[in-house]
Structure 1
Amino acid sequence: MHMKTMKTSVFCVAMVVVQLAYGGSNILVKVALDKGMNQIVFVVYRHLIAMLVLGPFAYVLERKQRPSLSWLMMIKIFVLATLGTTIHLNVYYAGLEYTSPTVASALSNVIPGLTFLMAVSLRYIYIYILL
């Protein structure tokens, strides 16, 4: 097998594995929500596990590159964490509680397209073209 073909096939297999893991995650979340787990508690657990798993890597690999932790930087991190991931996951899990994992997976793949349409409607696309 040619090296370039082999490299391409590895990337394709990786994409399929990621999509399967994402689908499996949706099924597990749906089962947990159906068993009575509170979606807010689930989001908190998800953030805590991510912090414990990724935090040491971020500390070791990026400790020389990070900016100083000022009050302004902490406020920015708080606002981004609150308005970005936390609200998205709470709305996503609320929707998953009322639909199936199949619908949740399909709708999550629509998000980039909706983001692009919002950017065009708010004229943010011109900023990226000019830069």
Structure 2
Amino acid sequence: MEGCSYYLAMVLVQLIYGGSNILIKFSLAKGLNPIVFVVYRGIRKQRPSLSFSVAAKNFVLALFGTTIHLNVFYAGLAYTSPTVACALSNVLPSLTFLMAVLLGYILCPFLSLA
């Protein structure tokens, strides 16, 4: 049973992902704006003092970080089903590997050894 705990944990994580996608789809169908959902998700309880450096880092993270990913994900979820969202989230590691191979990040170290 000890060897099965990792598999059971992964099944539990996938069920939680699927349940959250279903709940988000219901709230988007009821009229929740995806951008508002991303803003609510990004609110932190403890904030650092606002200096120019912190404001610049927040701007860059909001522009290129998780925010753009979540906005695109929730906008897509508003038009598709939670099943598609779960299926595509499982494809992301393989797509990341293919992009790394195409861009030469994986094979270049191995090619230099030959």
Shared fold (TM-score, shorter chain, > 0.5): yes
SS for the counterpart of 1:36 is coil
SS for the counterpart of 2:25 is helix
Matched with 2:34 is 39
Would you say how many aligned residue pairs link Structure 1 and Structure 2? 107
How is 1:39-58 mapped onto 2 (pairs within 5 angstroms)? Answer: 39-48=34-43, 51-52=44-45
Relative distance call for 1:81 and 1:112 in structure 2 (3 A) is: farther
**How much identity, in percent, do the aligned residues show?**
61
Unaligned runs of 5+ in 2: 47-51
How is 1:24-103 mapped onto 2 (pairs within 5 angstroms)? Answer: 24-48=19-43, 51-52=44-45, 71=53, 75=56, 78-103=59-84
Relative distance call for 1:76 and 1:125 in structure 2 (3 A) is: farther
Alpha-carbon distance between aligned partners in 1 of 2:10 and 2:55, rounded to the nearest angstrom: 34
Unaligned runs of 5+ in 1: 56-69
Choose which of 14, 19, 24 in structure 1 pairs with 2:9.
Answer: 14
Q: Which has the higher helix share?
A: 1
* Deviation at residue 109 of structure 1 after TM alignment: 0.9
Write out the 4+ residue segments of structure 1 that deviate beyond 6 Å after TM superposition.
none
Matched with 2:49 is none
Choose which of 85, 88, 96 in structure 2 pairs with 1:104.
Answer: 85
Alpha-carbon distance between aligned partners in 1 of 2:106 and 2:60, rounded to the nearest angstrom: 23
* Deviation at residue 128 of structure 1 after TM alignment: 6.4
Alpha-carbon distance between aligned partners in 2 of 1:47 and 1:75, rounded to the nearest angstrom: 16
User: TM-score, normalization: structure 2?
Assistant: 0.78
The letter for the 2-side match of 1:99 is T
Relative distance call for 1:23 and 1:125 in structure 2 (3 A) is: same
User: TM-score, normalization: structure 1?
Assistant: 0.69
